[in-house]
Amino acid sequence: MRCAGPMPDLLILASLSFSLWISSSFFPNFRVHGLVLVQNFSTLLWHTSIGYPPMNVLEFTGLVFIGSFVAGLLGALTGLGGGVVLVPLLALFFKVDIRYAIGASLVSVIATSSGAAAAYVKEGFSNIRIGMFLEIATTIGALFGAYIAGSVPTSAIAIVFGAMLMYSAYLSRRPRTAKERNVPQDALATRLKMNGSFPEGNGIRHYNVKNVPTGFGLMFGAGTLSGLLGIGSGAVKVLAMDQAMKIPFKVSTTTSNFMIGVTAAASAGVYLARGYIDPGLTMPVMLGVLGGSLLGARILVEAETKWLRILFSIVIAVLGIEMLYKGIIGGI
Amino acid sequence: MFKAESWSDQKIEIIIGNLLRVGVSISAVVVAFGGLLYLTRHGKTLPDYYTFQGEPAALRGFHGIVHNAIALQGRGMIQLGLLLLIATPVVRVLFSIWAFAVERDRMYVGFTIIVLAVLLYSLFGAGAAL
């Protein structure tokens, strides 16, 4: 019998308790013994949510690390990306100012994109020409987004963020296009040498690309969102490639992952110069997300992720509603 | 003809993938080391992220960060690791220019130079333009 159902949940529990155990050995404030640890952890969570008594830097760093680790793990397991829940996690739960949260999230997005690239590349799905051409649009968009992030009020950023989360949750529930598409050769895409091939089964599958200008325009939008919100905006990138340019889904997702790091680097310079990137906060976020996503990518092959995807998309939707609400009442 | 081209593309991508992994690993080690320094010295203080003040000027630019990191300041060391992380995609783009040049693909050398220019503008020009 295949134990596909409860497996991912068990894995998450196991890794969560493992990271708890690791952090407890680093932080003397946590006790290592079973129940006491759980008790201390829930006490800490409770104190975090009511904001009293104030945590010290050690406790704060430990909790942010654990939260980011779980976000990275879930993001990799479901393929939805962990970056999109980092900012709500930091802003809503840890009460971090949204600008620090965006800075920390953006830097972590570079780490996950680059860290996962080596694994994706071996499979031979990503298309570097499509990626590089579209990066012209995403990097210019990211620079633009990072600039306007400085003059847009934080409540407006929260509202856009909430809408983006709801949209990601909606996209994740849509069926993926896996079937072969017969796309005729497009003059512009052919001139740009975008048509490619990838290994499938025992053979090689060729594909053609179309609607390059539409894809380019959508990529500018994806870059702007990335620079404004500090996320990878992989959902929009995949949408542009899969839906508009008719690129096969596998090629779209791996090429998108490849592009995310370069896109994020384009707004990172502006964020750094503005003082959005705080080392004390970014350290646990970056290390946590990186660790979680690497672990997630490793166990991805065995895990059955259908229920996990549903669960995670509900979490994303709820966070989206709360971000919208906080943005509208001016709580952020 | 087609096969040879896709093979070399594949090889380039594998090199790029490994390049990125090495870059991320180095930066993670530097960040973790800086984190240890920071936590041993400031672990008992209270975090203050509730209101936005922005980072001090010394942690916003290259000179200040490198200066701080050499002085073994935890926050400066973390920031140096993050700079290395931001630099990995830039190195990747630089490498792609070379790779496209080897393939004699002038058009894509041009496209990649545009991407590099935007990245360098963000890293070096953004501070001055603010």
Of the given ranges (A93-97, A307-311, B42-46, B90-94), which has the lowest mean pLDDT?
A307-311
Of B14, B17, B126, the CB nearest to A273: B126
Q: What digits encode the pLDDT tens for the residues A161-204? A: 999 999 888 887 776 666 667 788 888 998 899 998 888 777 88
| H or E segment to which residue A267 belongs | helix A249-274
B108 CB neighbours in chain A (<8 A) are 129, 132-133, 193
Does residue A208 have a pLDDT over 80? yes
Contact across the interface for B82 and A128, Cβ inside 8 Å: no
Model-level ipTM above the cut of 0.85:
yes
Q: Quick one: pLDDT at residue A233?
A: 87
Note the helical H segments in chain B.
2-42, 62-70, 74-102, 106-120, 126-129
Does residue B12 have a pLDDT over 80? no
Q: Tell me how far apart the alpha carbons of residues A219 and A225 are, in angstroms, rounded to a whole number.
A: 10
- For residues A33-49, one letter each, b for 16 or more C-beta atoms within 10 angstroms of the residue's C-beta and e for the rest, the string is eeeebeebbeebeeebe
- Indicate the pLDDT class of residue A30, thresholds 50, 70 and 90: very low
Does residue A332 have a pLDDT over 80? no
Q: Which two tokens stand for residue A40?
A: 């201390």
Min Cα–Cα distance to chain B from A57, Å: 5
Q: Which two tokens stand for residue A119?
A: 């694994």
pTM of the predicted model as reported, rounded to 2 decimal places:
0.84
Min Cα–Cα distance to chain B from A314, Å: 27
Other C-beta atoms closer than 10 Å to the C-beta of A166 total 18
**Count of alpha carbons within 13 angstroms of residue A34, beta-carbon side:** 1
Q: What digits encode the pLDDT tens for the residues A136-159? A: 999 999 999 999 998 899 999 999
- The mean pLDDT value of chain A amounts to 81
Mean pLDDT of A276-284: 95
Report the percentage of chain B scoring pLDDT > 70: 88
Q: Quick one: pLDDT at residue A74?
A: 84
Of A58, A132, A280, the CB nearest to B96: A132
Mean pLDDT of A5-27: 48
Which chain A residue has the Cα nearest residue B64?
A273
Q: Quick one: pLDDT at residue A49?
A: 58
Does residue B59 have a pLDDT over 60? yes
Report the percentage of chain A scoring pLDDT > 90: 39
Contact across the interface for A268 and B111, Cβ inside 8 Å: no
Query: Which residue in the block uniquely carries the two structure tokens 């996690």?
Result: A89
Does residue A16 have a pLDDT over 60? no
Q: Which residue did the predictor score with more confidence, B17 or B96?
A: B96
Q: Which residue did the predictor score with more confidence, A294 or B6?
A: A294
Which chain B residue has the Cα nearest residue A111?
B24
B36 CB neighbours in chain A (<8 A) are none
Q: Tell me how far apart the alpha carbons of residues A10 and A55 are, in angstroms, rounded to a whole number.
A: 30
Largest CA distance in chain A: 66
- Indicate the pLDDT class of residue A253, thresholds 50, 70 and 90: confident
Among residues A101, A149, A88, A150, the alpha carbon closest in space to that of A323 is found at: A88
Min Cα–Cα distance to chain A from B77, Å: 9
Of A136, A139, A274, the CB nearest to B54: A274
How large is the angle between the packed helices B2-42 and A98-123, nearest 10 degrees?
Answer: 140
If you count them, how many residues does chain B have? 130
Query: Which residue in the block uniquely carries the two structure tokens 């393929």?
Result: A79
Does residue A28 have a pLDDT over 60? no
How large is the angle between the packed helices A57-78 and A279-299, nearest 10 degrees?
Answer: 30
A94 CB neighbours in chain B (<8 A) are 49
Does residue B1 have a pLDDT over 70? no
Q: Quick one: pLDDT at residue B3?
A: 45
Which chain A residue has the Cα nearest residue B109?
A132
Of A196, A273, A278, the CB nearest to B49: A278
Q: Quick one: pLDDT at residue A46?
A: 61
Q: Quick one: pLDDT at residue A250?
A: 82
Q: What digits encode the pLDDT tens for the residues A99-134? A: 999 999 999 999 988 877 766 666 678 888 999 999
